[in-house]
Structure 1
Amino acid sequence: MRPVTLYSLLRRTGESRTTRWRPECISLYIALQCIRRGRRSTATVSVYETTDREGTALHVAHVHYGPERFDGADFVTDIYEIPTAVLTDL
């Protein structure tokens, strides 16, 4: 089961547009590992509690890597949508 949705964004140095990848479904454990890795590195990590349009409780984790992490990129951002029910089922 892959309940977490990952959205990735990238802006290359010298370009004004942001590259977006298709949303990807990943497991909760992979998402938690990636968020922890961001916290250990120089990334800015923010976690928000919210609901989607149908009222389902979500945790949204925003991991923002600056230019020092990737060559040729102004930033890389990963956004994880994690259903709260999945977190409480652990």
Structure 2
Amino acid sequence: MRPVTLHTLMRHTGQTTALRWRPEQVTTTTARQLIRRGRRANAAVHVYETTDRDGTPLHIAHVQFGPGLYDNVEAVTDIYEIPTEALTSL
């Protein structure tokens, strides 16, 4: 089973492009904790069910933090690719 992949994007105030970090591999437990932290911080959290290119069931969690999380940062977005098997095997 593959781990959860986390993609992070950050847009600084006054900038039109977003900074991207290299995708990180995190555990399902860590992903759940980070998504819960986003909900507690009043971030917009959306979870979608889909499949990857190979037809493997996948959940996508999109966490959008607004301004105020960091100085001079307009928005931070975390996108989690979570294999459905990882959620159902717990």
TM-score normalised by L of structure 2: 0.95
CA RMSD of aligned residues (A): 1.2
Question: Which residue of 1 is the match for residue 10 of structure 2?
Answer: 10
Question: Which residue of 1 is the match for residue 32 of structure 2?
Answer: 32
SS in 1 for 2:37: helix
In the alignment, structure 2 segments of 5+ residues that lack a partner are: none
Question: Which residue of 2 is the match for residue 85 of structure 1?
Answer: 85
SS in 2 for 1:30: helix
Letter in 1 for 2:73: A
SS in 1 for 2:14: coil
- Residue identity over aligned pairs, in percent, reads 60
TM-score normalised by L of structure 1: 0.95
Matches within 5 A, 1:5-84: 5-84=5-84
Number of equivalenced pairs: 90
SS in 2 for 1:15: coil
Rounded Cα–Cα distance in structure 1 between residues aligned with 2:56 and 2:3: 13
Deviation at 1:2, TM superposition (A): 6.4
Deviation at 1:62, TM superposition (A): 0.3
Spell out structure 1 runs of 4+ moving beyond 4 A: none
